[in-house]
Amino acid sequence: MSGPQNTLAISPAARDALQTWLDHQRALKGAADNTLIAYHGDVTEFLAFISVHHGGAQGLGALAKITVSDMRAWMAQTRGAGVGPRSLARKLSAVKAFYRWLAAREGFEPTAVLSTRAPKFTKKLPRPLAVDAARELIDCVETQGRAPWVGARDVAVLTLLWGCGLRISEALGLRGSDAPLPDVLRITGKGGKERVAPVLPAAREAVAAYLRLCPHAQEPKGPLFRAVKGGKLGPGAIQKVMASARMQLGLPASATPHAMRHSFATHLLDAGGDLRTIQELLGHASLSTTQAYTAVDTLRLMEVYNRAHPRA
């Protein structure tokens, strides 16, 4: 839907407005690069559809007159192109955010866009691994490396995900200057938010073991984790080795690198950790995200609350 011809159909005024909004998201709201890329793609697709749907480029005045029928037509075509309800809901959210800003700037009523309902879908909660399964998976990964240092590298990465709750992008974003690992790491996560992540001795030792075996010289500004040829290690390599390990162990497809981070949260909660602390360690903006992330039921939440609340 957002091919070159359709994109060219968007009016210069609409393209400029979109870019100004994206700049606003970056400067004032600290939106991450990946978020901005997704916003740009989603809103561009919508504007391109509206242009084609109405037979020509739509200036800002025409965009202010979007109808409920236009929104339904866009959603129907998007679903017809094979886009699932979850992805369509994300696209609609981006379009609404853009229109809310555009309406405030241009002084029109965006009701037709903002009142459009997102399709219903069931949220998929990440599944944690049992403690024994996580340990077995890390042991299995160590034996799969094409060289001892590669196995040690993969163990170090997964240990950081499980032991420190890092996202895979955060672990692979560490630099040579971060080693030897300190007692706490200052991690810049989504949206440029900074948090402190305590480093367990097991994680520190795993990284040290990898560095002792790694044949590539460590540079302060270079990546801590190296690919076989010496470049920066990408997430695909870790995902691939973990997929192989879970097949050997008979684990479900949900046993991904992200599941290791989820297991970190769940195992902390099971050990009596409070949700607010886990929220801070994970870098979640809201507590509700942590509640969904850890997949705790209401009874479990109340048990934690009653034990931790000073007035309990």
Q: State the burial class of residue 262 (Cβ atoms within 10 Å of its Cβ: 0-12, 13-18, 19+).
A: buried
The active-site residue, picked from 167, 195, 204, 262, is 167
Residue from 86, 62, 83 nearest 74 by CA: 83
Per DSSP, the residues of 43-59 read: HHHHHHHHHHHTTS---
193 is catalytic: no
258 is catalytic: yes
267 is catalytic: no
The active-site residue, picked from 53, 79, 258, 300, is 258
284 is catalytic: yes
Q: b or e along 142-175 (b: 16 or more beta carbons within 10 Å of the residue's beta carbon)? A: beebeeebbbbbbbbbbbbbbbbbbbbebbbbbe
39 is catalytic: no
Instruction: Enter the DSSP assignment of 178.
Output: G
> Is residue 73 within 8 Å of 53, Cβ to Cβ?
yes
Per DSSP, the residues of 254-303 read: T-SHHHHHHHHHHHHHHTT--HHHHHHHHT-SSHHHHHHHTT--HHHHHH
Dmax of the chain from CA atoms?
65
221 is catalytic: no
- Residues serving a catalytic function are 167, 190, 258, 261, 284, 293
